[in-house]
Amino acid sequence: MRLHFQLSPNLQLVPFTYPHFLVGRVHRWLDKNALHDALSLYSIGWLQSGHGRKDGLIFPDGARWFISAPDTPEGDDLLSRIVSAAQSDPMVCCGMEVTQISAQRTPDFGPRHVFRADSPIFLRGDRTPDGYDPHLIYSDEAADTVLTRVLHKKLAAAGLSDHIEGATLRFDRSFRTPKTRLIQIQESKKRVTVCPVIAEGPKEAIQFVWNTGAGHLTGCAFGSLI
């Protein structure tokens, strides 16, 4: 299921590094520090409907935002707690408050679907002998393998191991304008990709991808999909 939020216009300039504000807000709503270290079985999108300036972003007509989680008892509980907390404490960031919340049921995508990236996709490769964690982009040979590996790991963690067989996730190589960016979130820099992904396999696995995102750190507002 996916929760869609309508936010009021910003009262302060929104910095380009704002995604960590969204993550912090979700964690405070849930009041559960364990989310910082747990595997992200949910997805946090980026703010939409804004306008860029040299020094930041503005949302004169408000912003659209979503959070989604798989259709499991744990996922339903997580979203229910977010709704309850957001209604009693609607402030998100930079003066923007939640003014409306609507729920969207998980669509039936069938056995194959191409998802667009709502937020950049972050992939962490295998650690090197000297302890370095490479950041993979769409053109790296191992990228698709890691996308699928993360999907399988999340399916297993969600108790959906029956849907792992045949489930794959890969970058859409036919997309003509994939982009890479170096994003700074607080003191951390991430090399990320903006490119559609193709999900194939059991329909339950495809739905799971829509709800949990692609790649690593989906709970930190990376890899959200539309």
Q: What tokens does 140 get? A: 């790296």
Would you state the torsion angle of the CA atoms of residues 8, 10, 16, 22, taken in this order, to the nearest 10 degrees?
-40
pTM of the model: 0.94
What is the CATH code of the structural domain delimited by 112-220?
3.30.70.1900
**Tokens found for residue 62:** 């408000």
Query: What pLDDT score does 186 carry?
Result: 72
Q: Are 1 and 69 in contact (CB under 8 A)?
A: yes
| Residue 141 C-alpha from the chain's centroid | 23
- SS3 sequence of the chain: CEEEEEECCCCCCECCCCHHHHHHHHHHHHCCHHHHCCCCCCEECCCECCEEECCEEECCCCEEEEEECCCCHHHHHHHHHHHHHHHHCCEEECCEEEEEEEEECCCCCCCEEEECECCCEEEECCCCCCCCCCEECCCCCCHHHHHHHHHHHHHHHCCCHHHCCCCEEEECCCCCCCEEEEEEECCEEEEEEECCEEEECCHHHHHHHHHHCCCECHHHCCCCEC
pLDDT, tens digit only, all 226 positions of the chain: 999 999 999 999 999 999 999 999 999 999 865 565 568 999 999 999 999 999 999 999 999 999 999 999 999 999 999 999 999 999 999 999 999 999 999 999 999 999 999 999 999 998 888 888 899 999 999 999 999 999 999 999 999 999 999 999 999 999 999 999 999 877 789 999 999 999 999 999 999 999 999 999 999 999 999 9
Q: Do domains 2-104 and 112-220 have the same CATH topology?
A: yes
Domain ranges of the chain: 2-104, 112-220
Contact between 148 and 166 under an 8 Å Cβ cutoff? The reply is: no
Closest CA to 210 of 45, 10, 73: 45
Q: Which fold has domain 2-104?
A: Alpha-Beta Plaits (3.30.70)
Q: Is the dihedral of CA 75, 153, 219, 225 positive or negative?
A: negative
